[in-house]
Amino acid sequence: MGNRLVIFRKELRSVLDEKTIVLAITIQLFIAAFSSFLVIGLVAMYDPASVRGGGLKVGVAGDGSPETSEVAASLGVEVDGYGSYDEAVEAFRAGEVDAVLYAERNGVVNVTAVAPESSLQTTRRVVQLREILRELERRERLRRSDGLDSPPLPVPEAPRSSPFFGFTYTVLIPILMFLPVFISGSITSDSVTEEVERGTLELLRVTPTSDVEIVEGKMLAYGVLAPLQAGLWMVLLNVNGVPVREAPAVLSLVAALTVVAVVLGALLALVFGDRRRSQMMYSLVVILVFGAAAVAANPMNAVARLAVGSSSAEVYLVVAGYLVAALTVAAGLRWYMGNGVAGLRRWGRTG
């Protein structure tokens, strides 16, 4: 274990000397420190309808404009009335309104919507107009329900959940937990291939350190970075009022996936011995492996449920499964290196 710790300390020093990596981690932690402000902007993109009204100003025209204006106003939208479609469109082109709704009654209500064609606000405006039209449709259905032969089935009320809560725990926290995992595997692949390409492997071999200890020392160094960074994320999120309820289980899952990613990066580096090919294959295999994992036992869903505190025996079974998988792949890589098969023979030829 002593030789592995020597390599471990050497790799950590190299990481600290790599200003790009340190700067990237610092920026991430700085953002996390202000995550409560960041989430507000991200939620607006994740669920534009969460910003009801949101400063939208609509020009309404047509003989169905009273009902349309009433619906829009009830949703917090500012309304300007116009005598004709052309007048409303002219006001839209002049920038006096953000969108136009032209409502005509001819037995049924036909509504023509005009929205910005391409701008940063387009998606948000379209979603807000869609909410107005949905509410208008609902009210029309209720108004006409007396003419039905049989009463319609009652529609359950939509759940009133906070989009901030949903986005934070189902999207933001899983991304923050797993992004360092993928980076750790990539850095491990780079570090192993770098020893080969620079010819520094022979310098390490003159020490009483075996090939297996060299690789495992590197894996240990980069394997602790992801859980450490995930832990810092959780601390800063908690400071910002976003607690991660079952943090030990989340860290266990992050650690297990980090082992898988680091082993994968090291294995591909040993097999290909070339940075470009190793990184390309690492990216492809990560997409395939974690894509398959998301179907079979979704780790992002497990993290979300653990973070919000709604876990079950099934979730803990997923965590245990990934821990077993991590131990299995680590043992498999050790067997591969210990038997001196193709990957390590490549090291010998290159050196």
Decide if 304 is inside a domain. Answer: yes
Decide if 85 is inside a domain. Answer: yes
Query: Residue 323 has what pLDDT?
Result: 94
Here the tokens at position 320 are: 């245990």
CA 79, CA 62: separation in Å to the nearest integer? 14
Here the tokens at position 178 are: 């797993």
Confidence of residue 13 (pLDDT cuts 50, 70, 90): low
Amino acid of residue 44? A
Find out whether 78 and 38 touch, Cβ atoms under 8 Å.
no
Query: Residue 85 has what pLDDT?
Result: 92
Which CATH number fits the domain that encloses residue 107?
Answer: 3.40.190
- Max mean pLDDT range (133-137, 171-175, 192-196): 133-137
Domain stops at, among 124, 147, 170: 147
Whether the CA torsion 29, 31, 36, 40 is positive or negative: it is: negative
Query: Residue 168 has what pLDDT?
Result: 77
Query: Residue 298 has what pLDDT?
Result: 85
Name the phi and psi angles at 103, rounded to 5: -110, 125
Query: Residue 172 has what pLDDT?
Result: 79
Lowest mean pLDDT among 19-28, 99-108, 209-218, 256-265: 19-28
CA 132, CA 155: separation in Å to the nearest integer? 18
In a shared domain, residues 198 and 312: yes
Amino acid of residue 73? A
DSSP letter at 63? T
In a shared domain, residues 252 and 117: no
In a shared domain, residues 177 and 139: no
Which tens digit of pLDDT belongs to each residue from 30-77? 655 555 555 545 555 545 545 554 568 899 999 888 888 999 888 888
Q: What is the mean pLDDT of residues 291-308?
A: 85
Percentage of the chain with pLDDT > 70? 70
In a shared domain, residues 67 and 203: no
| Number of domains forming the structure of the chain | 2
Which structural domain, as residue segments, surrounds residue 239? 2-33+162-350
In a shared domain, residues 100 and 137: yes
In a shared domain, residues 107 and 252: no
Confidence of residue 325 (pLDDT cuts 50, 70, 90): very high
222 backbone φψ class: left, alpha, beta (φ>0; ψ -120 to 50): alpha
Q: How many CA atoms lie within 13 A of 112 on its CB side?
A: 11
In a shared domain, residues 192 and 247: yes
CA 348, CA 351: separation in Å to the nearest integer? 5
Mean pLDDT of the chain: 78
Tell whether the model's pLDDT for residue 343 goes beyond 50: no
Burial (CB count <10 Å: 0-12, 13-18, 19+), residue 212: middle
Query: Residue 193 has what pLDDT?
Result: 82
